[in-house]
């Protein structure tokens, strides 16, 4: 018997649509992209900023879509469709209605995550860790915007025990409608930091926009805040005003309810110890970094709030690894077999807070014999009028971390180049090709390289070419605790 994500009658009713053609009994998935569509999916022809999904209906049918969801206004131009279809007034609005229906039918415990730094990493760690206690559904990739959140919610199976959703924003009033769809039991704010300053006048405005997440927390729910964030008191006040009566904190500060009590790097990873609701647990971290340990403390705190097993959650986290571009570590062999070097891939995105965290990770990573710490840095986007000062300010953590050499790319990084002049070995490049050529000629055995930039700088391509040019060594096991042995 097929396990339907949505039976057809329920799907049509939730969409407030009209069915045409011979309908299947149900759909096994939902898609808005023909490139990733799976046979049995319902295809939603959403109109985006660059493309209109109605232009890909034939491709959706060829890829195996069992039903198409189309806008009434586009019908005259569509011609005869070979695949059964559902007509709605507005496709994106109908997806939102389906998301609302998914939330209404669910008995899952739901957590929503936002923040300037660490949203996706925390969401992925929650997905991995909570799976030890029951079926988990979570947002794919960084599906955290006006179409990603409804799509992720509408995809949640009815038997889900834990739902994990990431909610992002670039402007005020973007989180509010999304969190009111998700209606989480726990709302997590990872950290307030200078991201998207080009769209906000101050950090206070960023905090206020992130604080919109509390407006959707269900009655009796919890706000989970970073005790080490200077904005924690302001966020707690926002939560209280939104009607959230239970406020918990995670982090290293003494007042944290879920506290990181110890963190130390080890070879090829790190270990952390956390105090969670009267239990002290140890976690071996395959992906090192104190900032990751702080986010994993939030994961343990959320598990506690959900009544999940803390030992099982901690054990699961010991096998979790940060995703591509978010602290992924590669041990690579130099061409010709001349020894190995380590590459820390932080290339997915960057703002001043995450840049400092990545530099701290580099500082905590020991080079091999004769090796050096090398930072490859690109521009941080959306920093507005403060961009030059914020780039220049990265000089101090680089010097404090005893970084041996810095390679820089991008117009904004000229400010850092000026700030480092004469204080640290560095070179600035106008093009990624020039930087890569210079870097490849200088890497030697024992080096530790860290790559960090906003995604649009394309430094991930340099990571890919470094990995392709150097044979990766076998992955080492996570530095977890020794298994207990029977006496």
Last residue of a domain, one of 38, 56, 90: 90
Residue 420 lies in a domain: yes
Residue 347 and residue 302 share a domain: no
Residue recorded with tokens 């506290």: 259
Residue 142 and residue 262 share a domain: yes
Residue 240: which H helix or E strand, with range? Answer: helix 232-241
Last residue of a domain, one of 255, 289, 317: 317
Given this model, what pLDDT does residue 484 score?
31
CB contact at 8 A, 5 and 32: no
What are the strands of the beta sheet with 471-472, ordered from one edge? 426-429, 405-409, 373-378, 448-452, 340-346, 328-333, 471-472
Residue range of the domain that includes 196: 106-317
To the nearest 10°, report the CA torsion of 288, 294, 298, 304. Answer: 80
CB contact at 8 A, 115 and 210: yes
Residue 338 and residue 258 share a domain: no
User: Coil, strand or helix: which one is 136?
Assistant: strand
Q: DSSP code of 142?
A: T
Given this model, what pLDDT does residue 486 score?
26
Given this model, what pLDDT does residue 471 score?
57
Residue 133 and residue 256 share a domain: yes
Residue 387 lies in a domain: yes
Residue 252 and residue 118 share a domain: yes
Residue 480 lies in a domain: no
Given this model, what pLDDT does residue 472 score?
53
Residue 59 lies in a domain: yes
Given this model, what pLDDT does residue 243 score?
98
Residue 132 and residue 273 share a domain: yes
- Please name which of 94, 37, 79 lies closest in space to residue 61, comparing C-alpha atoms: 37
Residue 261 and residue 399 share a domain: no
* Alpha-carbon gap, residue 167 to 48, rounded angstroms: 19
Residue 83 and residue 112 share a domain: no
Residue 258 lies in a domain: yes
Given this model, what pLDDT does residue 221 score?
98
Residue 258 and residue 132 share a domain: yes
- Please name which of 248, 253, 250, 260 lies closest in space to residue 217, comparing C-alpha atoms: 248
Question: Would you write out the chain's pLDDT as a tens digit for each of its 487 residues?
Answer: 689 999 999 999 999 999 999 999 999 999 999 999 999 999 999 998 888 999 999 999 999 999 999 999 999 999 889 999 999 999 999 999 999 999 999 999 999 999 999 999 999 999 999 999 999 999 988 899 999 999 999 999 999 999 999 999 989 999 999 999 999 999 999 999 887 777 788 999 999 999 999 999 999 999 999 999 999 999 999 999 999 999 999 999 999 999 999 999 887 788 999 999 999 999 999 888 899 999 999 999 999 999 999 999 999 999 998 878 888 888 899 877 778 999 999 998 899 999 999 999 999 888 999 999 999 999 999 898 899 999 999 999 999 999 999 999 999 999 999 999 989 999 999 999 999 999 989 999 999 999 999 989 999 999 998 888 775 554 444 444 333 322 2
User: Coil, strand or helix: which one is 306?
Assistant: coil
**CATH number for the domain that contains residue 18:** 3.40.1390.10
**CATH number for the domain that contains residue 269:** 3.40.1190.10
* Alpha-carbon gap, residue 406 to 438, rounded angstroms: 12
Residue 383 and residue 274 share a domain: no
Helix residue spans in 259-351 (DSSP H) = 290-305, 310-317
Residue 195 and residue 75 share a domain: no
Given this model, what pLDDT does residue 132 score?
96
Given this model, what pLDDT does residue 135 score?
97
* Alpha-carbon gap, residue 372 to 187, rounded angstroms: 41
Residue recorded with tokens 């924690």: 232
Residue 121 lies in a domain: yes
Given this model, what pLDDT does residue 289 score?
86
Residue 63 lies in a domain: yes
CB contact at 8 A, 191 and 351: no
Q: Report how many domains make up the chain.
A: 3
Last residue of a domain, one of 291, 317, 343: 317
Residue 50 lies in a domain: yes
Residue 62 and residue 171 share a domain: no
The radius of gyration of the chain's CA atoms, rounded to the nearest angstrom, is 24
Count of H-run helices and E-run strands, the chain: 17, 23
Residue 70's DSSP bridge partners are: 87
């Amino acid at each position: 018997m097929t396990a339907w994500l949505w039976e057809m009658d329920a799907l049509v009713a939730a969409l407030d649509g009209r069915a045409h053609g011979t309908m299947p009994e149900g759909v096994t998935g939902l898609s808005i992209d023909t490139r990733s569509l799976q046979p049995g999916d319902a295809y939603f022809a959403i109109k985006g900023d660059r493309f209109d999904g109605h232009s890909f209906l034939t491709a959706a049918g060829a890829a195996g879509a069992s039903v198409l969801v189309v806008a009434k206004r586009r019908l005259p131009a569509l011609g005869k469709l070979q695949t059964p279809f559902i007509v709605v007034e507005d496709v994106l609005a109908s997806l939102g209605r389906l998301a609302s229906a998914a939330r209404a039918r669910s008995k899952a415990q739901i957590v929503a995550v936002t923040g300037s730094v660490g949203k996706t990493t925390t969401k992925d760690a929650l997905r991995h860790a909570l799976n030890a206690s029951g079926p988990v559904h979570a947002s794919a990739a960084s599906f955290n915007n006006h179409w990603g959140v409804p799509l992720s919610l509408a995809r949640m199976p009815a038997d889900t025990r834990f739902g994990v959703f990431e909610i992002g924003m670039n402007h005020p009033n973007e989180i509010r409608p999304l969190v009111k769809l998700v209606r989480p039991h726990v709302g997590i704010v990872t950290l307030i930091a200078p991201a998207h300053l080009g769209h906000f006048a101050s950090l206070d405005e960023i905090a206020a926009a992130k604080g919109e997440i509390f407006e959707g927390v269900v009655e009796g729910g919890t706000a989970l805040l970073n005790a080490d964030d200077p904005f924690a008191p302001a966020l707690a006040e926002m939560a209280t005003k939104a009607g959230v009566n239970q406020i918990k904190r995670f982090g290293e500060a003494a007042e944290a309810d879920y506290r990181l009590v110890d963190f130390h790097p080890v070879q090829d990873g790190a270990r952390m110890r956390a105090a969670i609701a009267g239990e002290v647990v140890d976690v071996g971290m395959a992906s090192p970094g104190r900032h990751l340990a702080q986010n994993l403390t939030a994961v343990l705190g959320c598990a506690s709030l959900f009544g999940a097993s803390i030992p099982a959650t901690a054990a699961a986290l010991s096998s979790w690894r940060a995703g591509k571009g978010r602290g992924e570590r590669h041990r690579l062999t130099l061409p010709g077999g001349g020894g190995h070097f380590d590459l820390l891939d932080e290339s997915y995105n960057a703002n001043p807070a995450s840049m400092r965290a990545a530099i701290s990770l580099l500082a905590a990573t020991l080079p091999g014999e004769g090796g050096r710490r090398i930072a490859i840095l690109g521009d941080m986007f959306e920093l507005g009028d403060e961009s030059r000062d914020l780039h220049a300010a990265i000089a101090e953590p680089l010097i404090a971390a005893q970084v041996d050499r810095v390679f820089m790319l991008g117009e904004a990084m000229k400010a850092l180049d000026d700030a480092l002049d004469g204080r640290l070995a560095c070179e600035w490049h106008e093009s990624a090709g020039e930087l890569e050529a210079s870097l490849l000629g200088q890497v030697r055995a024992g080096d530790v390289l860290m790559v960090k930039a906003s995604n649009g700088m394309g430094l991930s391509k340099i990571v890919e070419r470094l990995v392709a040019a150097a044979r990766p060594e076998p992955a080492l096991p996570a530095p977890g605790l020794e298994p207990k042995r029977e006496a």
